[in-house]
Amino acid sequence: MKISIENTEINGVKVISYDAHVDKRGEIWTTFIEEKFNKLNLNNFNHDKFSISYKDVIRGIHYDSFTTKLVTALYGSINQIVVDLRKESPTFKKYLSFKINPENRFSVLIPPMVGNGFRVESEFALYHYKLAYDGEYIDEDKQNTLKWNDPSIGIEWNCKTPILSNRDS
């Protein structure tokens, strides 16, 4: 299986694409090859999380100063959003939007201080977070949250009535 890695306009945000083997049984693809990730200095992935979310759920935008995230929609269709929240960055407050679905499987690598959020476009989606950090995991009570509709960012979610957690409201 082949993995390709490409840079984006936001420093440190990368799109990681996978070759899939498809036959009459279905398909199979590889999302992690240690050698490839070691070349990116990403040899400390130590935590996996999954979420199942329903149509028009928006999760995020969450970030902190030390967690690197590799995110993938394993099932369903999502609008993946990343927002550069590093004040010293030339792309501060710039956001990128990616459509991830069964036709174009890929992951997005998100460095610390770049916000992560997504909206589910299908009936439901299964989302995978692969996390890298030193020390103990910082859960939501110590993470930062940027309001999903912050007017200074202007994200186009294409959803008039999203389903939000209390934290994301």
Sorted by where each begins, the domain ranges of the chain are: 3-145
**The CATH number fitting domain 3-145, selected from 2.40.160.40, 2.102.10.10, 3.40.50.620, 2.60.120.10:** 2.60.120.10
What confidence score (pLDDT) does residue 59 get?
96
What confidence score (pLDDT) does residue 1 get?
60
What confidence score (pLDDT) does residue 43 get?
64
Enumerate residue ranges in the chain where pLDDT < 50. none
What confidence score (pLDDT) does residue 51 get?
96
Quick: pLDDT tens for 90-119: 999 999 999 998 788 899 999 999 999 999
What confidence score (pLDDT) does residue 7 get?
95
The structure tokens listed for 142 are 């110590």
What confidence score (pLDDT) does residue 112 get?
96
What confidence score (pLDDT) does residue 118 get?
98
